[in-house]
Amino acid sequence: MIPRPAQYLLRFDDLCPTVEQHRWQGLRDLVLEFGIRPILAVIPDNQDPAMECSPADPGFWAQMREMEAAGATIAAHGFQHLCEKHSKNLIGLHQKTEFAGLGLEVQRQRVQAGLRTLREHGLNPRLWVAPRHTFDMTTLRAIRQEGIDYISDGLARIPFTRGGVTWIPQQLWSPVEKSKGLWTICVHSNSTMKPQFLKLQSFLRKCAEQFTSFDRVVAEFNPGELGFTERMYERYATWRLQLHRKRTRHRRKRKT
């Protein structure tokens, strides 16, 4: 059943010791102020220069442990966030990937190394988040073999099972008020500018009560494979998002 009124999950992406300190501090303050239990998508061993936005914070891992103890859920955000290869993938929003198109053994080694790194830092990763939404059926097999049963991705309005794992959909990159469904809002900690921050803050002022947590979603939903209507919705939502991204790319190209 699609929940009504809508429920929201907040997910912060690209967390690593070199996350943009000032912006991340502001976002953490919001989490505290509104009592949100977010998903923290942590890059286990960042090697992506684009994620080096501040000098490495020696207190980063302790901060992640504290946030987890306070109710946040840790997600492994790939392994090194190095998306060097192009490949077809299940979501189809991006092409560059750290995982899709690779063989099971390589993917499994990367998943395993990521999970191990997070555990060595005293964290307990409960779900998996692909860098750039790029993964394939082999990735799902790899994460399942490594004991992870949940991913945060997909464009349906309810959690569902596919490829042997449960998908908790992630459909928004900025808050939008919805009448029904479970909506994950993904916030990129490195690039949240003042207007986006203020938009999130005012949304939380209005809708904080409707924010749920990974634990509650696991306890309250009983996911199965998507029915026909929701599959059609998912297809339509994917098509709309791909079109929107294509148009944005074209506009940017015309400007440059």
The DSSP 8-state label assigned to residue 44 in this structure reads: T
Binding of residue 14 to Zn ion (CB under 5 A)? yes
Q: Number of residues in contact with Zn ion, rule: CB under 5 A?
A: 3
Q: DSSP letters along 164-204, please?
A: TEEEE---BSS----SSSEEEEEEEGGG--HHHHHHHHHHH
- Which one of the spans 13-21, 86-94, 150-158, 192-200 is the region binding Zn ion (CB under 5 A)? 13-21
Rounded least distance, CB 97 to Zn ion, Å: 11
**What is the distance between the alpha carbons of residues 11 and 186, in angstroms, rounded to a whole number?**
5
**What is the distance between the alpha carbons of residues 123 and 108, in angstroms, rounded to a whole number?**
20
Nearer to Zn ion, 131 or 223 (CB): 131
Rounded least distance, CB 77 to Zn ion, Å: 6
Nearer to Zn ion, 14 or 146 (CB): 14
- For 72, counting Cβ atoms within 10 Å of its Cβ (0-12 exposed, 13-18 middle, 19+ buried), the class is buried
**What is the distance between the alpha carbons of residues 16 and 118, in angstroms, rounded to a whole number?**
11
Kindly write out the interface string for residues 76-115 of this chain, putting x where it contacts Zn ion by CB under 5 A and - elsewhere.
----------------------------------------
Nearer to Zn ion, 50 or 198 (CB): 50
Nearer to Zn ion, 131 or 169 (CB): 131
Kindly write out the interface string for residues 123-162 of this chain, putting x where it contacts Zn ion by CB under 5 A and - elsewhere.
--------x-------------------------------
Within 10 A of 193 (CB to CB), how many other CB atoms are there? Answer: 8
Nearer to Zn ion, 206 or 245 (CB): 245
Question: Distances in Å between the alpha carbon of 212 and those of 37, 157, 196?
Answer: 7, 14, 21
Rounded least distance, CB 114 to Zn ion, Å: 13
Query: What is the token pair recorded at 50?
Result: 């684009």
The contact set with Zn ion (CB under 5 A) reads 13-14, 131
